[in-house]
Structure 1
Amino acid sequence: MKYQIECNTGKINQICLICQLSFQTNEVRLIICNDQGESYGDLCYQCIANGGDWVQFQLQKFSQKLLALN
């Protein structure tokens, strides 16, 4: 998985990839992508605030779920 940071000019409603809660983006978005650059979704600011190690652990669990679907 890759992280993509984008500047955001308008507020967009998103669903957090980790906690599944709806949130509104601010000036910056953190988007999680696969190795081909295809977006899985955004992370909310509350999940980002939990820290890099916590986010990495949650994304590993997400990745395992994706592998189980294939």
Structure 2
Amino acid sequence: MQFQIECNTEKTRKVCLICHQSFQMLAARLIVCNDEGDGYGDICPQCTARGSDWIHHQLQEFSNQLLTIK
């Protein structure tokens, strides 16, 4: 898993990959990607403010839940 930060010029709304809330994109965009650079989704500013360790933990829990469903 990687984090990619991009400048954003679009005024679109996205849904946060972690909290599933709709949010307005700001000047910068945080995207969660796999090791090949394929994007999984965007992270909202509120979740971003909690830091990369917290985000990583939330995504790890989500991944573990997916594995138990299979």
Q: Same fold (TM over 0.5)?
A: yes
1:17 matched to which residue of 2?
17
Quick one: which amino acid aligns to residue 46 of structure 2? Q
2:56 matched to which residue of 1?
56
Change in CA separation of 1:36 and 1:67 when aligned onto 2, cut-off 3 Å: farther
Quote the RMSD (CA, aligned, Å). Answer: 1.6
Normalising by the residue count of structure 1, what TM-score does the alignment of the two structures yield? 0.85
**Structure 2 spans left out of the alignment, 5+ residues:** none
Large movers: runs of 4+ above 2 Å = 62-70
- Looking at structure 2, the residues matched to 63 and 26 of structure 1 have their Cα atoms a distance apart, in angstroms, of 27
Normalising by the residue count of structure 2, what TM-score does the alignment of the two structures yield? 0.85
- Cα offset, 1:64, TM superposition: 2.3
- Cα offset, 1:51, TM superposition: 2.1
Aligned residues: 70
- Cα offset, 1:17, TM superposition: 0.3
Q: Could you say what secondary structure the match of 1:4 adopts?
A: strand
Q: Could you say what secondary structure the match of 1:23 adopts?
A: strand
C-alpha deviations, 1:20-44, integer Å up to 9, x for none? 0000111100000111211110000
Quick one: which amino acid aligns to residue 50 of structure 2? N
Tell which deviates more after alignment, 50-59 or 29-38.
Answer: 50-59
